[in-house]
A = this chain, B = another copy of it.
Amino acid sequence: MKRLGVLLSGRGSNFAAIADNIVQGRLTGCQIAVVISNKADAAGLVAARERELKALAIEARGRKRAEHDAEIIAALKEHQVDLVILAGYMRLLSPEFVQAFPERILNIHPSLLPAFPGLDAQEQAFNYGVQVAGCTVHFVDEELDHGVIVLQKAFPVHEGDDSQALAERILEQEHIAYSEAIGRVLSGEYRVVGRRYVRNAK
| Residue ranges of A at the interface with B (Cβ–Cβ < 8 Å) | 112-116, 126-132, 134, 148-154, 159, 194-199, 201
- 14 pairs of residues in contact across A and B, judged by CB atoms under 8 Å: A113-B115, A113-B130, A114-B115, A114-B116, A114-B128, A126-B196, A127-B194, A127-B196, A129-B148, A129-B196, A131-B151, A134-B154, A159-B199, A159-B201
- Bound CA span A113–B116, Å: 10
- Bound CA span A129–B159, Å: 30
- Beyond contacts A127-B194, A128-B149, A128-B195: 14 other A-B pairs, Cβ-Cβ < 8 A, are A112-B132, A112-B154, A115-B115, A126-B196, A127-B196, A129-B148, A129-B195, A129-B196, A130-B149, A130-B152, A131-B150, A131-B151, A131-B197, A132-B152
Residue on B nearest A115 in the bound complex, by CB: B115
Residue on B nearest A197 in the bound complex, by CB: B129
Residues on B with C-beta less than 8 A from A154 are 112, 132, 134, 154
Q: In whole Å, how far is A24's beta carbon from the nearest beta carbon of chain B?
A: 25
- Bound CA span A150–B132, Å: 11
Q: In whole Å, how far is A1's beta carbon from the nearest beta carbon of chain B?
A: 28
Q: In whole Å, how far is A135's beta carbon from the nearest beta carbon of chain B?
A: 10
Residues on B with C-beta less than 8 A from A129 are 148-149, 194-197
Known: A159-B198, A199-B159. A152 touches B131 (CB 8 A): yes
